[in-house]
Amino acid sequence: MSNMDPKAMPHKAGTTNPDWWRGAVIYQIYPRSYQDSNGDGIGDLPGIAQRLPYVASLGVDAIWISPFFTSPMKDFGYDVSDYCDVDPMFGTLADFDHLVQEAHRNGLKVMIDLVLSHTSDQHAWFQESATTRDNDKSDWYIWADPKPDGTPPNNWLSIFGGPAWTWNPAREQYYLHNFLKSQPDLNFHNGEVQDALLDVTRFWLDRGVDGFRLDTINFYFADKELRDNPPLPKDKRNDTIAPSVNPYNHQEHLYSKNQPENVKFLERFRALLDDYGARAAVGEVGDAQKGLEILGEYTSGDDRMHMCYAFEFLSKEPLTASRVVEVLNRLDDAAPDGWACWAFSNHDVMRHVSRWDLTPAATRAFITMMISLRGTLCLYQGEELGLHEADVAFEDLQDPYGIEFWPEFKGRDGCRTPMVWENSNLNGGFSDAKPWLPVSHEHLHHSVEAQEIDPAALLHHYRRALAFRKEHPVLMKGTHEGLSAEDDILSFTRKHKGTEMFCAINMSETPSTTDMPTGTWEPVGGELGSTGAGPDKKLHLGPWQPCFALKRN
């Protein structure tokens, strides 16, 4: 851990509103791929700071920065070797402090990605733990004796392929890793481990961060008895969390994650954030079968997580009107007082324009639909440009996940290629050097520079949509009622402090008609293509067309 005084350069967050996160829009930045400032082909913290005016121009409320901590980069920062320092490829702690100052100056909150479930095998904690069975940190990771025949202690599998156990000759024991073997799992049953991770959290709070995205939040605890996971029936398997070619999908992960002890730690984490005021956290719930139920459990009340996201809208399943209603109804049942964070794309899944094969009109409709949802929203860098999944050749792959399962699964590099700022050079304004991943030539036509000068570009539609949401607090904080999927039209009513807004969106290429709810409604949102009822008092929606209407009293 860094020896630098965590309070050496404290910054105060730019808000005193403890509810700033509720209904907010968060913009995810993958730092390796946003902006290279020093010509080494890798994005960095000064590069992000340089681009913050653009981010602010979108109308978002916060940025979430994927890991930039010291790391051997076996999993590109999600394998942390020092939680309290910046990896030199991304800059310095001073660069981070400058980024926070610039973000706050631009009206943006800063959320950073904390990877608490596991560290790198290069972390000092693991290096000590792995030496003997009786050192000070011998119980900081999950160690287990082999079975009598020398095989691993149970049948748990790694998301990245193969057993979730690796043999350590020095201890003559196996250690657990739910991901790469170079990512050993911490033992949260040990109170000292929890205390150390809360100290890490405090370090970054003292540097002025406004919140955190918690990686794999449901993986913190493993079953103390290390019981075998039961098999998962074939008809219940899906590839939401792991590709179908991965045997990980053949198990019900009853004991390797989702343990009840996790709630107490989340309450400790929330209490720490509350001590700092106006801070917030969003948890990633990685579960293919009961993600919404876990979301409900983790966000219930006001002493756990502020919000969580599951993978329902990050899956390959087409996002039809009926699918949206199904998910929202399930969420209402599982989390009546919880709070969801919705996303269509992120650094781990195929970009949604490609995943759902969206036309330009459909892409506009999807963000228009998203801004009408109850919950917080998360956008992934480049989606405001309509970027599709890049085709990365095998020889250019960096992601160990894709290399392991190629060609049936190409990994996550296709959604991680560099941001395209201009189309005047081969690297899209991202770097003067060869980028760590190639810039897609097709992406160049969708660059920020090209879209800024085109009034009809998707980028401007995103800005209009986010501005419309912010203009109407009922969309940010209101309840939703009357969820309906009639033919291809998704509709519901949002209510907040005496304001009612009817929202309907035709989620197809086919014109469709539905009834307006009773009452007198005033159409709004014309800048988003919204329309009102016709002379026959019915709502006629063209392909991918929305309707937003406020009720007159």
Sign, CA dihedral 453-458-459-462, equals: positive
Q: What 8-state DSSP symbol labels residue 374?
A: S
Q: Smallest Cα–Cα separation from 414: which of 437, 432, 386, 382?
A: 437
DSSP H/E element including 471? helix 458-471
Neighbour-count burial of 111, counting CB atoms closer than 10 A to its CB (0-12 exposed, 13-18 middle, 19+ buried): buried
482 class by beta-carbon count within 10 Å (0-12 exposed, 13-18 middle, 19+ buried): exposed
DSSP 334-357: H-TT--BEEES--TTS--HHHHTT
The size of the chain, in residues, is: 553
Do residues 66 and 413 touch, judged by C-beta distance below 8 A? no
Which residues are catalytically annotated? 215, 284
Report in angstroms the alpha-carbon separations of 294 from 24, 219, 228: 22, 12, 21
Strands (E), 238-360: 280-284, 307-309, 341-343
Q: Are 352 and 383 in contact (CB under 8 A)?
A: yes
Q: Do residues 372 and 548 lie in contact, with contact meaning Cβ atoms separated by under 8 Å?
A: yes
Q: Do 196 and 216 contact (CB within 8 A), yes or no? A: no
